[in-house]
Amino acid sequence: MRRLTHGFVLLASAVLAQGEAMPPTAGENEPPPFTVTEKEIQIPGVTIDRNTLEVRIAATVCLTSGILEYVVCKPGTFEHEAIFTTTAKPELVHAALLLAGLKPTQLIPGLTDLWWGKAMENKDSRVNIDVEWQDGAEKKRASLSSMLRDRQEGGGKPAKDAWVFAGSVMVPHPVTGARQYAGNASGILVGIWPDPSTVIQYGIPSENPYENSHNGLEIDEKHVPGLGTGVTLVFSRQFPEKAHAPVERDNPR
């Protein structure tokens, strides 16, 4: 095992090789250490499998019913309208997704209507998101989309696998003016309602879920793990020809 404590030397090299810059964080002079083994790269809170290129983070179920505007957020932000909380830092998940071969299609403020089609067509930005958890002696894995219902279709169908690596944006700090990664400030890692700060965005317009009963997405109570369950979120590049097969619709609790 090789422990690197003087910065993202290898990580930055891999990221720059893909033509992307590692997003800086205001007030941090030293990048966090990371560990490289034959099988994986470990950044604080994030693990990258070097063989499968799957990116894993730990999360906790914070909501098991209701409408959603977000899916994954940091504690103390949007738990009332998200399924999972995580302490993984959004900018480090961003870096890991770059290493996994993904390229962001940035959601530009004010240009959301132009983003939808472009983002879904960009194969290098499409993300699979799976959820792993332990149910007694059984380890389970299901697609995130199977835990969501599309209210636009009467609530009877799961959401589509339409997750897009948007990559957040850099914004000035409200006090210092220094550039900061917006996802770190907002705490949004995976979102449904279009927000330029989110790292991964749902790629299909779903309208405001609070306006009527046919807009947006909601939790499928029968298929989400119980409140407080610790899970692993697994992100990987989506190849259209290998998109998720239909998930068996049993009760995972």
Complete DSSP assignment for 110-165: T-HHHHHHHHHH-GGGEEEEEEEEEETTEEEEEEGGGGEEEGGGTT-SBPPS-EEE
User: Which position has the higher pLDDT, 221 or 211?
Assistant: 221
CA distance 157 to 198: 25
pLDDT band at 248 (very low <50, low <70, confident <90, very high): very low
Range of the domain at 120: 52-241
pLDDT score of 221 = 92
Residue range 104-152, pLDDT digits in tens? 998 877 777 778 788 888 899 999 999 999 998 999 999 999 999 888 7
pLDDT band at 247 (very low <50, low <70, confident <90, very high): very low
Instruction: For residue 150, give Cα distances in angstroms to 154, 205, 217, 231.
Output: 7, 11, 5, 23
Report which listed range, 29-38, 87-96, 239-248, is most confident: 87-96
**Count of domains observed in the chain:** 1
Is residue 93 in some structural domain?
Answer: yes
Is residue 185 in some structural domain?
Answer: yes
The SS3 call for residue 34 is strand
Q: Is the pLDDT of residue 236 over 90?
A: yes
pLDDT score of 28 = 52
pLDDT score of 172 = 79
Is residue 30 in some structural domain?
Answer: no
The SS3 call for residue 109 is coil
Residue range 18-69, pLDDT digits in tens? 334 444 444 455 666 788 899 999 999 999 999 999 999 999 999 999 999 9
Is residue 2 in some structural domain?
Answer: no
> Would you give the DSSP letter of residue 12?
H
Is residue 113 in some structural domain?
Answer: yes
Q: Is the pLDDT of residue 78 over 50?
A: yes
Q: Is the pLDDT of residue 91 over 90?
A: yes
Q: Is the pLDDT of residue 251 over 70?
A: no
Is residue 12 in some structural domain?
Answer: no
Instruction: Evaluate whether 69 touches 42 at the Cβ level (below 8 Å).
Output: no
Is residue 105 in some structural domain?
Answer: yes
Is residue 143 in some structural domain?
Answer: yes
Residue range 175-216, pLDDT digits in tens? 788 888 889 989 999 999 888 899 999 988 877 677 676 778
